[in-house]
Chain A
């Protein structure tokens, strides 16, 4: 164990190899989930993370990871601090270009019309109705526990704070999809809208602000804030 710690310290002393994500410092409960597995495993300083890994910190946990700088080939690194109660995908700790973000968002819309690719096919009108839903079981399904979603939203806030606006917006939207109750949180929605704005997608930001303005239960002050943002964006 001591040998491992020394090795890790040496590694940290010389810095991470270019392109690698290296765990620099840990405190409290910090775990990692590799790839598409479902198991959280412990992590130690000096461990190299893969882009498909996910890191989770406990309530009093925190982690510092060293990332390759966005400037390709520069060899420089930057640190990224995960506070407590967050889940962050390592694939999100990167800067997407506005074009990539735009395309990602567009692909979401394309999905909505994914059957339009058949538009040149012969359209056979269907009058058939599917009768007989499966009622063999009356078990009621429980929705996903929003606790995991909260951690992911917290992670999105960390991404925002570190300037990863594009991945922050995408992650926020994904969490809202998986955990619909979280989509009603003003603060989180506002973060996504601001992330879109900072990612220079003003049209999408305006749409998001407009959607926030329609949320139930937001205060007059929040309404004023949102409308102010919309006006400011439209003037630009």
Chain B
């Protein structure tokens, strides 16, 4: 019998069961740890705090799958993929596409019309399929991240209506009514490392949002709540292999996580969740493991909820209340979930083993002493071992144009998590001696701990290059102005001696150095003028050739000049640097030269032992040294000797200057 036009509704029965299905957090590492905000360091689960994206090396690709083990028939399904890229050193972009991040609620129902049973259902689907983030490292310890998340709400309702099939027949026809709304959220995060082993994170969720109006008001009860939230987290690296983290949110959610990296490229993780809508304090426990090999990294996790009553895929319809859904990934309806992900790090994928914490330059570069900088540190770089094993770290320094290649230091052993200072050397080329006046240049400090020498970190640092005639005031470095092998110096010394060859003839060989020194000094009697340094920021010293040409200079210039002349004819010299403690402004420098004579011939030098000094020569033999006041050479050798001897006796013997440390004797050659 055909149905009459007037349809009689006999009975309507709604089932008492809804089906809910939700996927856990996209990244297994994140779901295992729970408190993930302060631990974001790459594209995995970056939505926990995008500021951590600056921890990426270069390219990051990953994909994940999951299985809802609480739901009947749940196998592994595709969850999504992500991609991240770091660029310009301190910027990072990331995108994740997660079609599997859904929460489906199906409300089945049936009714009977005239003895016919009609099945119907209402399906509510919440998804968060897309997120895009940008991160910027504002300082070494501070970074910010901005992300935009897309969220959709879709309500599919099947309604029945009578449709006339012919004049006498009406049929009940199902009509599908779909309502969809897309909402965009903007979140802002920050990541700060106040200490080397402490990370703090903050994320403002839903600070901005924009949504469409595709859902009729009749479905308002199915829309997700819109709440702004602030998530604050902290992570503490207790030991290089153990990190603990905690995170809390203004929407009443708290998490705690531990990550243990015992070595062998594996990691074990655990986490606790509270405030996610279950009836117990701890709603869920996360467990996970990670393993890495070369550029691949695999993570697995299992999220176990303590209250399974509404997480088995079916719930009483009266239990479904979307207002309790704070996060689609972890909601009151999320069931136990197993997740697996694979991550590939491409591009500059090598993990940095060490990181530069700071650079300290010891001072400016004095071109006069540039050769000594090949083995004397110009500064030090503080390097931290960020890896999990001891490393041999090396530092290198490079200054464009003034160096031909970077100069690498000796390796320094650093334990995991520890820091060490590595001295930096610099092999400059001859161009540095052409720097006329003080300049500031920028050099590059690089560190590496890899056997292959790949760079782990680098930093630019400013360095002061003094002018070629600048002197740091240290008598030890004054010797670098002494140039006995300069052709002009050698020629000058030999020409002077040649002119006096007759007076030198017949002198006992042992007395030769003393006589040659006398001839050389006497040659300049009346031919030199004492002139003070030009007004200058630093001490100014002339090279011997400059003094020989200008025939003028101060005590330093003359001391350097005569030390060079004497050294060029094989006579050893030493500087005597006097800085009177009561009057440091009256510091003075003169020199000694080695006669090569044994002390037993002291009478041959002078009947007054105060006129000479017995000290060890380069060969370790005690010999007689003569003090010379270089500025008095303008009055001849004897005067210069007398003044030098008197000064030496007053300052060293009576004043005990050497003993008290205000007189320094520095051997030159």
Interface residues of A (CB under 8 A from B): 33, 35-38, 51-52, 54, 89, 91, 96, 100, 103-104, 107, 111-115, 117-118, 120-122, 133-137, 139-145, 148, 174, 177-180
Could you tell me if B376 and A36 are in contact, using CB atoms closer than 8 angstroms? no
B610 in the interface (beta carbon within 8 A): yes
| Contact present for A120 and B376 (CB under 8 Å) | yes
Is B608 within 8 A of A33, CB to CB? yes
Which residues of chain B from 580 to 616 have any CB-CB distance to chain A below 8 Å in the complex? 599-604, 606-611, 614-616
Q: Residues of B contacting A91 with CB < 8 Å? A: 649, 653-654
Known A-B contacts A117-B667, A178-B600; A148 and B607 likewise in contact (beta carbons under 8 Å): yes
Decide: B615 and A111 in contact? CB cutoff 8 A: yes
Q: List 24 A-B contacts (CB under 8 A).
A: A38-B606, A52-B646, A52-B653, A91-B649, A91-B653, A100-B656, A100-B659, A103-B659, A107-B658, A111-B615, A111-B616, A114-B574, A122-B375, A133-B509, A134-B509, A136-B505, A136-B509, A140-B508, A144-B604, A148-B603, A148-B607, A178-B599, A178-B602, A178-B614
User: Interface of chain A, helix or strand or loop or mixed?
Assistant: loop
The number of inter-chain residue pairs (CB within 8 angstroms) is 106
Closest chain B residue to A135, Cβ basis: B509
Q: Report B258 CB to chain A, min CB distance, Å.
A: 48
Contact partners of B618 in chain A: CB under 8 A: 115
Known contacts A51-B654, A136-B505; 20 further A-B pairs (Cβ under 8 A):
A33-B608, A35-B610, A35-B646, A35-B649, A36-B608, A36-B645, A38-B611, A111-B615, A112-B616, A114-B667, A118-B667, A122-B374, A141-B604, A143-B601, A143-B603, A148-B607, A177-B599, A177-B614, A178-B599, A178-B600
* A36 near B653: Cβ-Cβ < 8 Å: no
Does B230 reach chain A (CB closer than 8 Å)?
no
How distant is the Cα of A46 from the Cα of B81 in the complex, in angstroms? 106
Residues of B within 8 A of A114 (CB): 574, 615-616, 665, 667
> Interface centre among A36, A89, A114, A118, by most B CB within 10 Å?
A36
Closest to B667 in A: A114
Does the CB pair B642–A141 fall under 8 Å? Answer: no
Would A143 and B600 count as touching, CB distance under 8 A? yes
Inter-subunit contact B604/A38 (CB<8 Å): no
Within 8 Å by CB of B622, from A36, A100, A103, A177, lies A177
A177: chain B residues within 8 A (beta carbon): 599, 614, 622
CA distance A145 to B665 in the complex (A): 30
Decide: A36 and B610 in contact? CB cutoff 8 A: yes
Q: How far is the CA of A117 from the CA of B505 in the complex (A)?
A: 37
Q: How far is the CA of A38 from the CA of B608 in the complex (A)?
A: 6
Whether a CB of chain A sits under 8 angstroms from the CB of B506 is: yes
In the complex, the chain B residue whose C-beta lies closest to that of A96 is B656
Q: Tell me the residues in window 232-275 of chain B with beta carbons closer than 8 Å to chain A beta carbons.
A: none
Residue of B nearest to A50 (CB): B654
B residues in contact with A133, CB < 8 Å: 509
Name the residue on A nearest B603 (C-beta).
A144
B495 within 8 A of A: no
Please give the number of chain B residues whose Cβ is less than 8 angstroms from any Cβ of chain A in the complex.
45
Are A107 and B659 CB-contacts (below 8 A) given A91-B653, A174-B609? yes
**Inter-subunit contact A144/B601 (CB<8 Å):** yes
Q: How far is the CB of A121 from chain B (nearest CB, A)?
A: 6
Instruction: Give Cα distance in the complex from A120 to B377, angstroms.
Output: 10
User: For residue A137, which residues in chain B have a CB less than 8 angstroms away from its CB?
Assistant: 505-509
Give Cα A61 to B291, complex, Å: 99
Complex interface residues of chain B between 452 and 499 (CB less than 8 A to chain A) = 476
Minimum CB–CB distance for B223 against chain A, Å: 75
What's the nearest-Cβ distance from chain B to residue A145, in Å?
6
Inter-chain CA distance A145–B607, complex, in Å, is: 10
Which residues on the A side are within 8 Å of B616 (C-beta)? 111-114
- Which chain A residues border B417 with CB–CB below 8 Å? none
B654 in contact with A52 (CB, 8 Å)? yes
Residues of B with C-beta under 8 A to A142: 601, 604
Q: Is B650 an interface residue (CB 8 A)?
A: yes
Closest to A176 in B: B599
Q: How far is the CB of B480 from chain A (nearest CB, A)?
A: 11
> Shortest CB–CB separation between residue B641 and chain A, in angstroms?
8
**Max count, chain B CB within 10 A of own CB: residue among A112, A134, A139, A142:** A134
Please report which residues of chain B, range 636-669, place their CB below 8 angstroms from some CB of chain A when the two chains form the complex: 642, 645-646, 649-650, 653-654, 656, 658-659, 665-667
B residues less than 8 Å from A52 (CB atoms): 610, 646, 649-650, 653-654
